[in-house]
Amino acid sequence: MTITNGKPNQAGNNKRRTGSTVRGKCLCGSIEFEVADSPRNLYQCHCSLCRKQSGSAANAAFIVSEDNLSWKTGEELISSYVKPTGFRSNFCSRCGSPVPNFIGKTAFVWVPAGLLEDPVSLKIALHLFVGSRASWEPKPTTGIQYEEMPAIAEVMAQLHSDTGN
């Protein structure tokens, strides 16, 4: 296991944005970001890594293209923990809040929904790794459920769908 400090490489942060934008920030407010063209839906991941990273039964998040994320303040305060498997958790070095980070070596960024500031009308449309949920967590009764991780293209399509199904 390795722990690294420093800011992640966030190429494309200064590109002009169009469409709906949502803002988010960490618990202490030191790290702020904007997401352009945000999705209409969220997913919840029930895997053991996301449970440990979030401290809850599942995390609620969405995924965007790196071009749709821009850091406003505090990018230099981002610290990272990376498991040997490649699982990465970026967090604020002041308050410990999870913050957006790249998904593996893709051009996609994971954005935790709990950081959003703006009133948004999002719903949980997908449940990932339902087969790995905690023994004390009931099986979800809404949304599309996947025992494991589907292809990223399928997740992205559902997150941006009008119906979420």
User: The domain spanning residue 149 has which CATH number?
Assistant: 2.170.150.70
What are the b/e assignments for 6-31, b being 16+ CB within 10 Å? eebebeeeeeeeeeeebebbbeeebb
Task: Output the tens digit of pLDDT for each of the chain's 165 residues.
Answer: 223 333 343 333 333 333 488 999 999 999 999 999 888 899 999 999 989 988 899 999 999 999 999 999 999 999 999 999 888 999 999 999 999 999 888 899 999 999 999 777 888 999 999 999 999 999 999 999 999 999 888 998 898 887 655
Residue 98 belongs to what domain range? 2-6+21-159
What is the Cα 67 distance to its own chain's centre? 15
pTM: 0.82
What domain count does the chain have? 1
In a domain, 145, yes or no: yes
In a domain, 164, yes or no: no
Sequence letter at residue 76 = E
Interior angle at CA 60, CA 56 and CA 61, nearest 5:
135
